[in-house]
Amino acid sequence: MALASWTNARNTGLRDRRDRGTQPWRPAPRWGNDQRMALRNQGKQLFADAQADIPEALLAYSKGSYPASRFADAICVCGCRTFLFATDDENGAAERQCTACESASLIANSAEVEEEMELVQSECTCEGDVFELTLGLAVYTDEPGATRWIYVGARCVECSLVGCYVDWKCDGDDVEALLANA
Ligand SMILES: [Zn+2]
Ligand SMILES: [Zn+2]
């Protein structure tokens, strides 16, 4: 797997949150006027200054359904934090490829659907294709070690647009194991 097998498609990644019946994003009250806002809302789009802001964006996306509460940044074995990546909405899967060493890795439990997955390479609305990635997990309230839903957030390093690019249901996979596979 990896780049050669991905399909190219423009703007397929970002989803409109309205599709999921969630409320529009509002800045949290703790962001007073005297503080620099990390997330900026322009129209329906969110922009963020740093990878550390991706969890807020994933929470905004997920809070109307199964809120993401555990997060892990994607970091390559070589230490690099920027990736090309591709998603499969249908089967629920994502794969990233390091921009430095080109090693590829399936995100979270994507390997479970490796046989049938059809990955489409993600591209930002600015046509940038290099992203910082953060995995977000929703857990079962009565079983915080079990994963209920998986979210993959991305921030375009070119224009700072941030959002959830793919999410899928999970039947209780171990939270720590998935976080180790961001
Ligand atoms: Zn690498
Ligand atoms: Zn962009």
Could you tell me if residue 81 is inside a domain? yes
Kindly identify the ligand whose nearest atom is closest to the C-alpha of 105. Answer: 1
Could you tell me if residue 20 is inside a domain? no
Q: Would you give the distance in Å from CA 99 to the centre of its chain?
A: 17
CB–CB of 58/68 below 8 Å? yes
In sequence order, which residues have a C-beta less than 8 Å from that of residue 124 and are 6 or more positions away?
A: 11, 13, 14, 131, 156, 158, 159, 161
Could you tell me if residue 26 is inside a domain? no
CB atoms under 10 Å from CB of 99, counted, come to 16
Measured in Å, residue 97 CA sits from the centre of ligand 1 at 8
Could you tell me if residue 30 is inside a domain? no
Measured in Å, residue 73 CA sits from the centre of ligand 1 at 14
pLDDT along the chain (182 residues), means of 10: 62 43 43 54 88 96 96 98 97 98 98 96 97 98 96 98 97 98 97
| C-alpha gyration radius of the chain | 15
Measured in Å, residue 69 CA sits from the centre of ligand 2 at 26
Measured in Å, residue 44 CA sits from the centre of ligand 2 at 14
Measured in Å, residue 140 CA sits from the centre of ligand 1 at 33
Confidence at residue 118, expressed as pLDDT on a 0 to 100 scale:
96
Confidence at residue 2, expressed as pLDDT on a 0 to 100 scale:
57
Measured in Å, residue 123 CA sits from the centre of ligand 2 at 8
Confidence at residue 26, expressed as pLDDT on a 0 to 100 scale:
45
Confidence at residue 11, expressed as pLDDT on a 0 to 100 scale:
45
Confidence at residue 33, expressed as pLDDT on a 0 to 100 scale:
40
Could you tell me if residue 17 is inside a domain? no
Q: What are 17's two structure tokens? A: 């949150």
Could you tell me if residue 69 is inside a domain? yes
How many distinct structural domains can be found in the chain? Answer: 1
Q: Would you give the distance in Å from CA 98 to the centre of its chain?
A: 15
Domain that holds residue 105: 3-11+47-179
Confidence at residue 31, expressed as pLDDT on a 0 to 100 scale:
41
Enter the pTM of the model.
Answer: 0.81
Measured in Å, residue 75 CA sits from the centre of ligand 1 at 8
Measured in Å, residue 121 CA sits from the centre of ligand 1 at 18
Could you tell me if residue 173 is inside a domain? yes
Measured in Å, residue 95 CA sits from the centre of ligand 1 at 13
Using CA atoms, how far residue 148 sits from 58, 152, 173, 181, in Å, is: 15, 14, 8, 16
Q: What are 155's two structure tokens? A: 């921030």
